[in-house]
Structure 1
Amino acid sequence: VNTRVTELAAVQEHDTQDIYGVMEDAQGRQTEIFQRVEALVDDSQFHYKTGRLVDQEARCSREAWAHSIGLSSAVYFELQGYMTHTWVQDQRINAHDTLIATLTTQLSSLQGHLVTTLSEIQALQAREQARA
């Protein structure tokens, strides 16, 4: 009976050691899983922050793009205004050039008439003096 009890005690001791080994392995795996979960939680928080930064950067880029489009439109319309103003000024200058050319022609014609009239006046004065 003692032998049998000793054998059972040895088997129980061996089984107990096996159970402790399995428990240690399970605890080690549990610790490893816990560490992985912590790393995943940290990564998740990092990815969340990164995603928020990317979203913020995208929003800022869209705002900057919209602002640049607005500025481009404003510059375009201002440039159109200047071009219209310049075109009007060119038309006025052309009209003035035409008027100056017409007036110059008329002035030359009037000067010719004046010279002719002056010659006629001088001729008439000379005749008057000759009669007198």
Structure 2
Amino acid sequence: MAVTAHYIDSQWKLQKRVLSFLHLPPQHTATEIVDTFYKALCEWGIENKVFTISVDNASNNDRTMKLLKDSFRVKKKLFFGGRLFHVRCCAHILNLMVKDGVKSVEYIIDKIRDTVSFVNASKARLVRFSEVANNYSYILESY
């Protein structure tokens, strides 16, 4: 597990630091994740300065965030009542969206792969394909 911190310094510039790379033995239960993460916060002395935590959409992360939020709530260390405490990772969400989009055109991608393999399997086919592609690009340029 990688723990990174993002903060605004005294010159109002965004800073990003990797705080820890932590070994998390299997089973990655919510309790194990919370314990490991909280130890890292304590090592850096920032356990009372956490504003937001961003994680991907794994179901055990949802349980982890609930446990962390409850723990921070008990210690009265939640900013804005915890409304901004758990933020989903935008990169992970975008990745999931792209995967779904690619799934819908997978058959086209497979046909393109098959075509490229077919053309590359023979030197004569590759030469002929290059000739056709060059002629086609010449036709497009004249428009």
Alignment TM class, shorter chain as reference: under 0.3
More strand by share: 2
Q: Which structure would you say has the larger RCO, counting Cα contacts within 8 Å and 6 or more residues apart?
A: 2
Normalization by structure 1: what TM-score? Answer: 0.23
Larger radius of gyration: 1
Normalization by structure 2: what TM-score? Answer: 0.22
